[in-house]
Amino acid sequence: MSIKKKQLKSGIKYCFTLRYTDITGTTKQYSSKGYDTKREAELEEAKFRLKANENTISSSNLTFNQVFAEYIEYRSKDIKPQSLNKVINLYKVFEPIGDIKINNFDLNTYRKFRLYVEEKHYSLEYNNKLMGLLRRLIRYSNKFYNTSDATLKYIDNFKEVGRIKKEMQLLKKSQLKNV
């Protein structure tokens, strides 16, 4: 237990400092914020040690652009070049969130991006492809960099209310000659 007492203008605060190894194998030092009681600081230190032992702490500062570049490199071995070009063209719509860090992508940012996509008036299928790519990028970053995937469960496909699916027309041989 490395809990220290600090005298601040606002009163006495308790904080802790410890070293841990993150998921990438680098050793980091963590200093906590100040807590009102020594007991609170001990509890938070224990929680942090548990997280560090489970390797759930990520110090990733990856942006969507960086993850996309790595995703394309990773997928280029598995899919055809024309399919890769389709994914690259889809990503052009992600310009507003390209510089946002994946760990900072929260529900409000998702809502703003979804509204941005809706304002573009793309087709329903295209919008759903965009949401699918967003989900794949978040899963990829979570898999390889242990970034947050908390917003993943909120990313829904677009739905068009009142849309009627076209039925296939069946023609008989005699009708086909008339056409």
**Stretches in the chain below the pLDDT threshold 50:** none
Residues 146 and 69 in one domain: yes
83's tokens? 């399919």
Residues 31 and 106 in one domain: no
CA distance 159 to 141: 27
Residues 46 and 73 in one domain: no
pLDDT at 25: 64
Q: How many domains does the chain have?
A: 2
pLDDT at 90: 94
Residues 87 and 150 in one domain: yes
pLDDT at 169: 79
Residues 69 and 148 in one domain: yes
pLDDT 10s digits, 116-163: 999 999 999 999 999 999 999 999 988 888 787 888 888 888 887 776
Residues 68 and 142 in one domain: yes
Residues 149 and 70 in one domain: yes
Mean pLDDT, the chain, integer: 84
Longest CA span, the chain? 95
4, 45 contact by CB (below 8 A): no
pLDDT at 23: 60
pLDDT at 13: 87
Domain extent for 30: 3-53
pLDDT at 83: 92
